[in-house]
Amino acid sequence: MTSLKDIPLAYASCSIGCRDEHTLPKKLEAIAQAGFQAIELSMPDLVSFANSHLRPKEQGGKEIDDYDYDDLCTAAKEVKSMCDSHGLKILILQPFANFEGWAEGSEERKDAWKRVDGWTRIMQAAGTDMLQVGSSDSPAEKIGTDRSRFVADLQALADKLAEQNFRIAYENWCWSTHAPLWEDVWDICQKVDRPNFGLCLDTFQSAGGEWGDPTTASGMLEDGRSKEQIERDWQASCTKLGQTIPKEKIFFLQISDAYRPKTPFSTQEIDGLRPRGRWSHDFRPFPFQGGYLPVVDFARAVLQTGFRSWFSYEIFDGGEEGKGKDYEMGPFAKSAMESQEKLMAACASS
């Protein structure tokens, strides 16, 4: 436990608040009062703050969108000032999605690089040096499956961000088209081979991809392997992670659990979201608060690498039905600290 007590803690701004009145300034206050040292700044939160702070609709202001980078930079400076006043660091700007794999000359590729330029400007204004990039979930028929193309795109992105001493934390999204597993993003990271390119690992993304499945009655994978074999394979994966990834290549670890859906999800895409994408959006409580994924196994594996840097809570708790959950932000943020204490105790005793 001694080595685990000083792990720095962050909270994702997008994953707290359930009412319109839960604005970004109030989120920051709740996160800071709970004892966190940093936030992940979410682009939707920044856009919402920019609209309420710079161009209130009641004053006839034009709505600010994700591409109004001048206004978003102005807002980001205000957010940095608020964070400074609360003693909070802005750990990262997130979530940068669907970057890699687009065909040369395509409109999607042009848009991806336009977003790079805009988001890096925002990073400068916010005073953060790290960009979270999720492994693309764009359709395979559009981005293909050739890993060498993804690697080349991510090398170009890393080189671009290195010009400003910025880093990339690359995350496996468990519904990703080409890199749903931690082994996928670690392989890509090694091939990218840039000092500013590392990993964002995530208890939900890995446990929910390798062990859990929201489309089955059991809530576990049902792919022809026995339940016992799935468990053995999961434990082997965790052991491999702990023995494989250098601690300096893990830039931060995101923490959440998942509810087992009472009714298995359809395997079809709904509103453009794959089943695990829908699961991720609304069914992710704090560990030890009703979820069922083997979160402790994965957190312990990450710690076994020697990693003792940022743990960040990213919670999308819509209740067991995923339909929404009303709460006060102060007690909600403090319950993250309770989960952290239980998680560290479990990791230390196992």
The pLDDT, as a whole number, for residue 64 is: 93
Query: Would you tell me which CATH number, out of the four given (3.40.190.10, 3.20.20.150, 3.10.129.10, 3.40.640.10), belongs to the domain 2-349?
Result: 3.20.20.150
Do residues 136 and 143 make contact, with C-beta atoms less than 8 angstroms apart?
yes
Cβ within 8 Å of residue 139, ≥6 positions away: 177
Burial class for 214, CB neighbours closer than 10 Å (0-12, 13-18, 19+): buried
The pLDDT, as a whole number, for residue 350 is: 65
The pLDDT, as a whole number, for residue 21 is: 86
| Tokens at 192, concatenated | 């990218």
SS3 (DSSP) at 254: strand
Question: CB count, 10 Å around CB of 22?
Answer: 16
Question: CB count, 10 Å around CB of 339?
Answer: 21
Compute CA distances 258 → 14, 85, 167, 270, whole Å. 17, 33, 29, 19
Cβ within 8 Å of residue 29, ≥6 positions away: 86
The pLDDT, as a whole number, for residue 2 is: 80
Per-residue pLDDT of the chain (350 residues; tens, 9 = 90+): 688 989 999 999 999 988 888 999 999 999 999 999 999 999 999 999 999 988 765 556 689 999 999 999 999 999 999 999 999 999 999 999 999 999 999 999 999 999 999 999 999 999 999 999 999 999 999 999 999 999 999 999 999 999 999 999 999 999 999 999 999 999 999 999 999 999 999 999 999 999 999 999 999 999 999 999 999 999 999 999 999 999 999 999 999 999 999 999 999 999 889 999 999 999 999 999 999 999 999 999 999 999 999 999 999 999 999 988 889 999 999 999 999 999 999 999 86
Whole-angstrom Cα Rg for the chain: 20
